[in-house]
Amino acid sequence: MNQTVRVGLMGLGTVGTGVVRIIQGHQQDLQNQTGLSIEVRRILVQDTDKERSISIEKELITTDAMELVASPDIDVVVEVIGGIHPAKEFILQALENGKHIVTANKDLMALHGAEILKKAQEKSCDVFYEASVAGGIPILRALVEGFSSDRITKMMGIVNGTTNFIMTKMSQEGADYAEVLKEAQELGYAEADPTADVEGHDAARKMAILSTLGFHVDMRLEDVDSRGISRVSAEDISYAKKLGYEIKLLGIAKRDDNLIEVSVQPTLIHKSHPLASVNGVFNAVYVYGEAVGETMFYGPGAGELPTATAVVSDLVTVVKNMKLGVNGRGSVAPYQEKYLKTDEQIVSKYFLRLIVDDKRGVLAQITRILAEHDVSLEQVIQQPYRGGREAEIIMVTHQATRRNIVNVEKELDKLDSVLQVKSLYRVEGGEEE
50 counts as catalytic: no
CATH class of 139-300: alpha beta
CATH class of 347-428: alpha beta
Rounded CA gap, 212 and 206, in Å? 10
Which residues fall within 8 angstroms of residue 109, CB to CB, at 6 or more apart?
A: 103, 116, 129, 132, 205, 209
Confidence at residue 431, expressed as pLDDT on a 0 to 100 scale: 64
44: enclosing H helix or E strand? strand 37-44
The angle at the Cα of 76, spanning 72 to 78, to the nearest 5 degrees, equals 125
Rounded CA gap, 82 and 10, in Å? 9
By the 8 A CB rule, do 162 and 181 touch?
A: no
Residues 377-411 pLDDT 10s: 999 999 999 877 999 999 999 999 999 999 999 99
Q: Which of 206, 248, 254, 422 is catalytic?
A: 206
Confidence at residue 151, expressed as pLDDT on a 0 to 100 scale: 95
Confidence at residue 331, expressed as pLDDT on a 0 to 100 scale: 66
Instruction: Name the β-bridge partners of 401.
Output: 347
The angle at the Cα of 78, spanning 189 to 11, to the nearest 5 degrees, equals 55
Rounded CA gap, 289 and 295, in Å? 8
Distances in Å between the Cα of 44 and the Cα atoms of 47, 97, 98, 421 are 9, 17, 19, 52
Tens place of pLDDT per residue across the chain (433 aa):
678 999 999 999 989 999 999 999 999 999 999 999 999 999 999 999 888 889 899 999 999 999 999 999 999 999 999 999 999 999 999 999 999 999 999 999 999 998 999 999 999 999 999 989 987 788 998 998 889 899 999 999 999 999 999 999 999 999 999 999 999 999 988 899 999 999 999 999 999 999 999 999 999 999 999 999 999 999 999 999 999 999 999 999 999 999 999 999 999 999 999 999 999 999 999 999 999 999 999 998 777 788 899 999 999 999 999 999 999 887 677 889 999 999 999 999 999 999 999 999 999 999 999 999 999 999 999 999 987 799 999 999 999 999 999 999 999 999 999 999 999 999 998 765 5
> What backbone torsions phi and psi does residue 118 show, to the nearest 5 degrees?
-65, -45
Number of C-beta neighbours around residue 276 at 10 A: 20
Residues 318-356 pLDDT 10s: 999 999 999 988 767 788 999 999 999 999 999 999 999
For the chain, what are the domain ranges? Answer: 4-134+304-324, 139-300, 347-428
Confidence at residue 433, expressed as pLDDT on a 0 to 100 scale: 52
Confidence at residue 432, expressed as pLDDT on a 0 to 100 scale: 57
Task: Identify the architecture of domain 4-134+304-324 in CATH.
Answer: 3-Layer(aba) Sandwich (3.40)
CA atoms in the 13 A half-sphere facing the CB of 71: 21
